[in-house]
A = this chain, B = another copy of it.
């Protein structure tokens, strides 16, 4: 965090809310209610932590109106304490000074255009014709390919790989191991072997997109793979070629999205979900974890599931063994029902 910290008065001036306490008080870190110390900012957004409020040693706590009276230290009263906290914590981080310039062990093609305010870290490699925008951070060990564009203030944490021709928006955050622009899985069977189908499309990523560690987004086969603005992808996700993900959709870790799937905007996809190729998912769809989406979802705003609940192994085995005769059970049941009908009269 910053050396000098941020005034509480400056926080409420910028973010709103009601300060109950000294506006000159400064904070320079965030902490939980329980672990907070004298120059830290904490928050209470979940009632199960309410019991920790009276004993906190934070400098200031962000909380809702209902908790304001019980706060033993300065308080910022906000309508949505968690969202307020996210903004205030980001404000504390603004103070962080990012370097600009080039580490002496970076490798930059002579014809790459790197903004003066950008930073290229140790052992990073910037390809020919790449354009690195204002205040971009390229961390240690990153590879930025030929002709790649990275928009202003985007951060490539470390060991991020962006292959030739991809376009990255502004204010993005990519974590280590992210791969943008690997070839899509395009193969054609020629009767004897699988031919590699050249993947000549690229990847276009909008502004404010965050991508988690070791997530891979393939380039398009001919046209581009597109991730629209505000999308947030967690770790270890696979996005196939020609996929399109709509704005402000979020996806938890370990998902796999097959080629040419089109996912709408404002969707929420749980962890380990699999999405089949060439299908469409409507806006505002919610899919819970481990589900396989094998067909298009056309009606927006609905919630889908597909994972069975865990069970103690022996009971699970008894039940899952029966699954193999479920169709027969259904027929036997129907047969019994007919017998009943026949007898009734």
Contacts and interface: CB of A to CB of B under 8 A. Distances in A.
A31 B176 CA distance: 33
A208 interface: yes
A330 B319 CA distance: 9
A291 to B, nearest CB: 5
Given A234-B238, A236-B238, A309 B320 contact: yes
Contacts of A330: 322, 325, 329
Given A32-B222, A177-B216, A200 B89 contact: yes
Interface size class of A (residues with CB under 8 A): 35 or more
Contact of A323 (B175, B253, B304, B326): B326
A189 B30 CA distance: 20
A123 B125 contact: yes
Interface string A131-164: 0000000011101010000000000011101010
Interface stretch (A6-14, A16-24, A64-72, A190-198): A190-198
A205 to B, nearest CB: 15
A158 B159 CA distance: 10
Contact of A29 (B173, B176, B200): B200
Interface in A324-345: 324-327, 329-330, 332-333, 336-337, 339-340
B185 A161 contact: no
Given A103-B107, A198-B90, A329 B324 contact: no
Given A89-B198, A325-B330, A214 B216 contact: yes
Query: Which of A213, A218, A302, A327 has the most C-beta atoms of chain B within 10 angstroms of its own C-beta?
Result: A213
B214 A214 contact: yes
A290 interface: yes
A182 B188 contact: no
A87 interface: yes
A289 B339 CA distance: 40
Query: Which of A89, A214, A276, A315 has the most C-beta atoms of chain B within 10 angstroms of its own C-beta?
Result: A214
A337 B326 contact: no
B176 A176 contact: no
Contacts of A202: none
12 contacts: A86-B186, A89-B197, A123-B143, A143-B158, A161-B176, A177-B214, A253-B258, A291-B310, A303-B312, A304-B311, A319-B324, A320-B326
